[in-house]
Structure formats: structure tokens, C-alpha cells
């Protein structure tokens, strides 16, 4: 199952305070991933993410910070209770220990694996005022898995969307927060992009990649005209980084004529992963 983006992304500013609410335009389904990039126009204080949300910048950082602002990215897996109640909004109560003003950009991913889902994270801090920034590399080899980059710009300047990327949502009130998507990445380094901005200012970017859900079964129709050896070659795509390379379990269901085969051989190609140094 490929990862899809079933809901239009939303982005909005939040008023000065220690809490704010993210509201989607359409309710997500069970096991969807709600992904939120958050920016604030000041630094200092402590960020406390709710227990059912994951801060992707951890464990190295709680937030990415310049001298003037900070940014972070968090995600949450939608529960069956939330989906059943058509939940549209999540409130982050006292996420900041001191009052902040800023903005957020949010989207929904569908078809993400239900375990070991986050396979790559990259971050970039532009500490001084420049008219460019970076969509950072996520540090792993990707096989047709999308990369989402969130940018928090310490101004309301525009961001030029690079070729091959799609702007999912953006807001330019108080500061600009935005999410961008690039699909079908294949190797380390391909997710790194130079991004041009119209305003010379500090910026923070965080990129993530999620593993897609594996199919429960693969049907491979085969026609054999003569008695002999049938070889079925299978390989694993989108493996979990660091996962064991043992073959999966295969089940062959005989159909008409399959008993005439003299031998059936299953050839397994182990998954591989590549981690950037």
C-alpha cells in the first residue's frame, strides 16, 4: 500500500499563549498519521509534547532553534475512537512553558505502517539571515516512499517551491510555516534541495520519511505449459532500516494444473538498507 495524502493540508497562525489548537478540514481515518510542523517567533522555555504524539526531532533536540525563533515537527496516529467521533481538532495544552506566537502547518498521511513507521529524519537550521534554506536529506535509502519537509521561516517572505516538490499547505501570518512533499525518492541525498526565499531571514527545516504498510498477500498468476521447474523470485521493497533480512512466509495455493509441476522453487532476495554516514 502506497502512502497517500487524503486530506488537503492546513496551515494557520496561533495567538500568543502557551497552548493552541490544530484543526483539519476533514476528519482522518483510523491509523492515519497527522503530521504537524510548528514554528514560534521566540526562543526559550520548555516544549512538552502530549504523550500520544511523537516529536521527530528527539532525542537530539526538543526543538530546532536559531537566535530568533524555533521549530519542531510532531505526529500522531489516529485512534479508532477519534475516527469514530470524526475528530477534526487536537489541542496542545501548555505545549509551551512560556507564551509563544507563531504558526503551524499540518497534513494527513494514509497507508503508513503500524509499527516502526518513521524511518528517516533530517533537520536544517539556517542561523543567520539569508535568502535561501535547505530541505534536508532524511539519511536513508528510499524506494518510492514520500518525503515531507516542514519549513518555519522567521518572516512572512515567500518560499519558491523546488521542482519535483508540491506545496501541501502554507501560512504567512506572523511567520511562514509550510509543508512540502516529494514523492518517489530513491537514494540518499536526493531529498536535499536548496530552497529560495524572498525574505532574508533565519529558517528551520525538518524532513521525515514514513514506511508504507506492507500488503498482507501478493498474488502472482503463473501459467506453465510443460512439466518442469517453476521459479518464483520475490524481493522486499521499503524495508525497515536495520530490519532482519530473513525471508517472509510464503504460502502457495494450488490451482488447476499446478499438480502437474515437477518442482516449485522460491527464490528470496533479502532487503537492504543504506544509512548515510
The DSSP string of 32-83 is -EEEEEEEESS--S-B---TTSEETTTTT-SSEE-SS-EEEEEEEEPPHHHH
Neighbours of 138 (CB within 10 A): 28
pLDDT of residue 232: 55
Give yes or no for a contact between 221 and 253, defined as CB atoms under 8 angstroms apart: no
| β-pair partners for 212 | 112
pLDDT over threshold 70, residue 263: no
Mean pLDDT score of the chain, rounded to an integer? 76
pLDDT of residue 185: 59
Give the predicted TM-score (pTM) of the model: 0.76
* Structure-model confidence comparison of residues 238 and 80, the more confident one: 80
**Average pLDDT score over residue span 204-233:** 64
pLDDT of residue 200: 76
The least confident of 13-17, 170-174, 208-212 is 170-174
Cell of 26: 476533514
Give yes or no for a contact between 122 and 137, defined as CB atoms under 8 angstroms apart: yes
pLDDT of residue 240: 43
Q: Strand 176-185 and strand 229-235: pairing? A: unpaired
Which stretches of the chain are DSSP H helices?
A: 80-84
Query: Which residues are within 8 A (CB) of 158 and not within 5 positions of it... i.e. 6 or more apart?
Result: 172, 176, 197, 198, 199
The residue behind cell 477519534 is: 82
* Structure-model confidence comparison of residues 69 and 6, the more confident one: 6
pLDDT of residue 239: 45
Give yes or no for a contact between 192 and 148, defined as CB atoms under 8 angstroms apart: no
Q: Containing H/E element for 130?
A: strand 118-135
The least confident of 135-139, 169-173, 192-196, 233-237 is 233-237
Could you tell me what percent of the chain has a pLDDT over 70? 70
Calpha distance 84→61 (Å, rounded): 34
Cell of 224: 506453465
Cβ-count burial 203-240 (b if 16+ within 10 Å, e if not): bbbbbbbbbbbeeeeeeeeeeeeeeeeeeeeeebebbb
pLDDT of residue 136: 80
Amino acid at each position: 500500500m502506497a502512502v497517500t495524502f487524503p486530506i488537503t493540508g492546513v496551515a494557520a497562525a496561533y495567538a500568543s499563549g502557551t497552548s493552541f489548537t490544530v484543526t483539519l478540514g476533514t476528519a482522518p481515518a483510523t491509523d492515519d498519521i497527522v503530521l504537524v510542523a510548528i514554528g514560534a517567533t521566540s526562543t526559550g522555555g520548555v516544549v512538552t509534547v502530549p504523550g500520544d504524539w511523537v516529536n521527530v526531532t528527539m532525542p537530539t533536540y526538543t526543538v530546532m532553534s536559531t537566535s530568533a525563533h524555533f521549530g519542531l515537527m510532531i505526529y500522531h496516529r489516529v485512534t479508532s475512537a477519534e475516527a469514530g467521533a470524526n475528530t477534526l481538532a487536537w489541542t496542545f495544552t501548555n505545549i509551551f512553558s512560556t507564551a509563544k506566537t507563531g504558526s503551524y502547518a499540518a497534513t494527513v498521511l494514509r497507508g503508513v505502517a503500524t509499527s516502526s513507521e518513521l524511518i528517516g529524519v533530517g533537520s536544517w537550521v539556517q542561523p543567520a539571515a539569508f535568502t535561501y534554506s535547505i530541505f534536508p536529506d532524511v539519511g536513508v535509502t528510499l524506494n518510492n516512499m514520500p518525503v515531507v519537509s516542514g519549513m518555519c521561516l522567521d518572516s512572512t517572505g515567500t518560499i519558491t517551491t523546488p521542482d519535483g516538490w508540491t506545496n501541501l499547505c502554507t501560512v504567512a501570518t506572523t511567520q511562514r510555516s509550510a509543508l512540502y512533499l516529494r514523492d518517489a525518492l530513491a537514494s540518499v541525498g536526493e531529498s536535499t534541495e536548496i530552497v529560495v526565499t524572498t525574505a532574508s531571514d533565519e529558517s528551520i527545516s525538518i524532513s521525515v520519511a514514513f514506511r508504507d504498510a506492507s500488503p498482507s498477500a501478493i498474488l502472482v498468476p503463473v501459467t506453465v505449459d510443460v512439466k518442469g521447474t517453476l521459479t518464483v523470485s520475490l524481493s522486499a521493497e521499503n524495508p525497515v532500516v536495520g530490519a532482519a533480512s530473513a525471508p517472509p512466509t510464503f504460502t502457495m495455493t494450488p490451482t488447476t494444473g499446478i499438480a502437474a509441476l515437477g518442482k516449485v522453487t522460491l527464490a528470496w532476495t533479502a532487503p537492504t538498507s543504506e544509512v548515510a554516514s
